Amino acid sequence: SQKWVLMVTAQTPTNIAVIKYWGKRDENLILAINDSISVTLDPAHLCTTTTVAVSPAFNQDRMWLLGKEISLSGGRYQNCLREIRARANDVEDEKKGIKITKKDWENLRVHVASYNNFPTAAGLASSAAGFACLVYSLAKLMNVQEDNGRLSAIARQGSGSACRSLYGGFVKWVMGKEENGSDSIAVPLVDERHWDELVIIIAVVCSRQKETSSTSGMRETVETSALIEHRAKEVVPKRIIQMEEAIQKRDFATFTHLTCADSNQFHAVCLDTVNFLLNVSQILMVCLIFRIISCVEKWNRSEGTPQVAYTFDAGPNAVLIARNRTSTSLLLQRLLFHFPPNSETDLNSYVIGDKSLME
């Protein structure tokens, strides 16, 4: 019968890199030029919710993002759909009287509806949560029997950073050596309980969509920056080892040092390009970033031991990682003092990676 619909809904949090991925060695497969490490946020705050549905009544793959239909014709969506379909298995729902064989999946089409509970494409890694959730929910729908590591290699083909959202806690994306990307996967380092004193605060400075895609920014950097090769070959490999050790030992001083230094170097290689940082809004954004950095740095220095690490991705929104709850409330007081709500900086909302602090 044409009447049945089978659905799966999944939720996936976003992740924030503390050692950044910036630069691809293969744009189609999305293979990075260096390893990266990230922390996955609490799904209660920044996450994507995706429902995937299959029915014999559907005659083409379709997707809606925030209620608006988007095209699935891009290579990234096609790669993810193809890879998941190739691994589909038999599915049976006795109650509904549905039986789908492995072979049927080739001819069945899916509908996808996805929502983000945070600004999309504003440098808050919405594509990370989005592609991780798409791949995960499709894999559940099609009864794919692969572990999260293998699924991460598929999510990676949607958006590089997405591979790290398949796990909670701290996660490493190993760049891998293979040309086909089979060893370019996410590996969990420690789960979310290992360092549960940390509190992540995201200061949403600007929720406008970013003007430069990370793909074109990375391409520009790889093609024109004289510093990027040094970063990828000499700096990041050492930082990865040091960061893994700092995380294992919960050494906040080293963690802060590495996180802030790596965020700054990522922005330094972006500046070391010909066309990347051109427009005024981006320059204004950089000024704001420096004001937040300076506020955090002054405080860390006056305390003697670091209280907060900062890191910025491809947008102005500050991600602040506080050592514990006490430093979190002190940090929030400082931020609200220096950047009062509705001031010219538009720093007006905070999302905190810890449920109880929202109460």
Residues engaged in binding ligand PMV (CB under 6 A): 17, 20-22, 36, 125, 127-128, 159-161, 214, 313-314
Q: Which is nearer to ligand PMV, 123 or 306 (CB)?
A: 123
- What is the residue whose two structure tokens read 């080892």? 241
| Residue number with CB closer to ligand PMV (91 or 163) | 163
Q: How far is the CB of 127 from ligand PMV (least distance, A)?
A: 5
Give the nearer residue to ligand PMV in terms of CB position, either 160 or 181: 160
Task: Report the candidate in 36, 45, 40, 38 with the shortest Cα–Cα distance to residue 14.
Answer: 40
Q: Give CA–CA dist 66/174, Å, rounded.
A: 32
Residues 6+ apart with CB under 8 A from 67: 113, 115
DSSP SS3 for 252? helix
Taking the least distance from each CB to ligand PMV, the nearer of 145 and 216 is 216
Tell me whether residue 37 or residue 91 sits nearer to ligand PMV (CB atom).
Answer: 37
Smallest separation, CB 291 to ligand PMV (Å): 20
What SS3 class is residue 118?
A: coil
The residue among 160 and 306 lying less far from ligand PMV, judged by its C-beta, is: 160
Residue 357 near residue 199, CB atoms below 8 Å: yes
Half-sphere exposure of 183 (CA within 13 A, CB side): 6
User: For residues 185 and 164, is the Cβ–Cβ distance under 8 A?
Assistant: no
- Rounded to a whole number of angstroms, the minimum distance from the CB of residue 355 to ligand PMV is 24
289 CB-near residues (< 8 Å, 6+ apart): 267, 312, 316, 318
- Nearer Cβ to ligand PMV, position 22 or 105? 22
How far is 241 from 324, CA to CA, in rounded Å?
24
- Which tokens in the block code for residue 296? 């955090």
Of 23, 36, 35, 32, nearest in space to 311 by CA: 36
Shortest CB 122 distance to ligand PMV, Å: 12
CB of 16 to ligand PMV, least distance (A): 7
Q: Which is nearer to ligand PMV, 160 or 188 (CB)?
A: 160
- Token pair, residue 145, equals 């029997």
Q: Closer CB to ligand PMV, residue 17 or residue 240?
A: 17
Pairing of strands 6-13, 47-55: antiparallel
Q: Which two tokens stand for residue 314?
A: 């491809």
What is the nearest approach in angstroms of ligand PMV to the Cβ of residue 218? Answer: 7
Give the Cα separation of 231 and 269 in Å (integer).
Answer: 8
DSSP per-residue string spanning 260-281 = HHHHHHHHHHHHSSSSSS-SHH
Q: For the CB of residue 120, give the shortest distance to ligand PMV in the complex, in Å.
A: 12
